[in-house]
Structure 1
Amino acid sequence: MQYHRVYIKGACYFFTLVTEKRRPIFKDEKQINILRESFKKVMKKYPFTINAIVVLPDHLHCIWTLPEGDHDYSTRWRLIKTGFSKNCDKTNINQPNQARIRKKQQAIWQHRFWEHMIRNEQDYHEHIDYIHYNPVKHGYTNKAVDWPYSSLHQYIKDGIIPKNWGVSGIEIPNEIGKE
């Protein structure tokens, strides 16, 4: 069975991207800043809205809304991943295998990414909660607010989510964002 992506113009999508062999590439501020710059550069040429995001050491989750009349999230992800790969610190990154060498690829990202088109308002809010709770789920912190690389901080600043949201023990649907 071949996987087919869903492309709907102007839609809202949840994404999961994982590093190759789950290496903790995003464990320092320098790498996070390179990823931010890659996003900014792509967003200038191919605009989209980041509704929510969290970056963990070995993966990231985010929700994007694409512009009306545009469905090309794959090009955006390719450019973001390429921009990061060209500029990141490769000190702790293993050498690529022979297949990747032949294709002139680096061993930074898993080849594919996972996407899910947001179906409705409830689906949207469940995925935002999943994103913001993910650092607690993975044991990086006991409170979501303590994780620095999350859009949760903007949600708190905007008064959308209370500061004490995401304390360890909150039930989050485990079927969302299969990692």
Structure 2
Amino acid sequence: MPIAANGCRLRKSRFAEQGRLYLLTTVTQQRQPVFADWRLGRLLVDQLRCADESASVTSMAWVVMPDHLHWLIELKNGSLAELMCRIKSRSSRSINLVRGEQGRLWQRGYYDRALRRDEDIKGAARYIVMNPLRAGLVSRVGEYPLWDAIWI
């Protein structure tokens, strides 16, 4: 069965709990390296910050990779589905406008993992921000322009 079909089925019964920590991952359509252009990545970052400012989430760590996003959050209001729909929709609109394009930017669905408070949250954040280093995009994390963590 294709991933998209499984992803849609999983989303229907998903439960999101306010105050819970989640590690979210979403991927660009056909894994296109849209965010290899860091200026386009900043448009996505603007949407992450809007989610914080609207009190939907508290962002703990994130990294925008060329073809995907990892985002560690504490969910404050609404559901994960609403949050991800808003982030993907608004970032698609602004990026397509800049690129003079139309169409889908993101693959359908997303992956989420609920974290317990007793898990190593800083370890999860380190894993997220080390992605560019593991992918060979930079030789030091500080060289990569599209990441942040509340502990830094």
Q: RMSD across aligned C-alpha pairs, in angstroms?
A: 2.4
Instruction: Calculate the TM-score normalised by the size of structure 1.
Output: 0.68
Q: Secondary structure at the match of 1:121?
A: coil
Query: What's the % identity of the aligned pairs?
Result: 25
| Pair 1:81-2:88 in alignment | yes
Separation in structure 2 between the aligned mates of residue 120 and residue 46 of structure 1, nearest angstrom? 20
Q: Which runs of 4+ in 1 moved over 6 A?
A: none
Q: Secondary structure at the match of 2:41?
A: helix
Higher helix fraction: Structure 1 or Structure 2? 2
Distance 2:55 2:89 in 1: 15
Once the two structures are superposed, residues 6-61 of structure 1 have per-residue CA deviations (whole angstroms, 9 ceiling, x without a partner) of 42222110011110111011122331232133334444445210000011111110
Structure 2 counterpart of 1:84, one-letter code? S
Question: Residue 119 in 1 paired to residue 136 in 2?
Answer: no
More strand by share: 2
Higher relative contact order (CA 8 A, sep 6+): 2
2:18 to 9, 23, 33: 9
Asked whether the equivalents of residues 17 and 60 of structure 1 are also in contact (C-alpha less than 8 Å), the reply is yes
Greater radius of gyration (CA): 1
| Aligned: 1:155 with 2:148 | no
- TM-score w.r.t. the length of structure 2 is 0.79
Aligned length: 142
What runs of 5+ residues in structure 1 fail to find an aligned partner? Answer: 96-105, 157-179
CA distance in 1, matches of 2:108, 2:55: 21
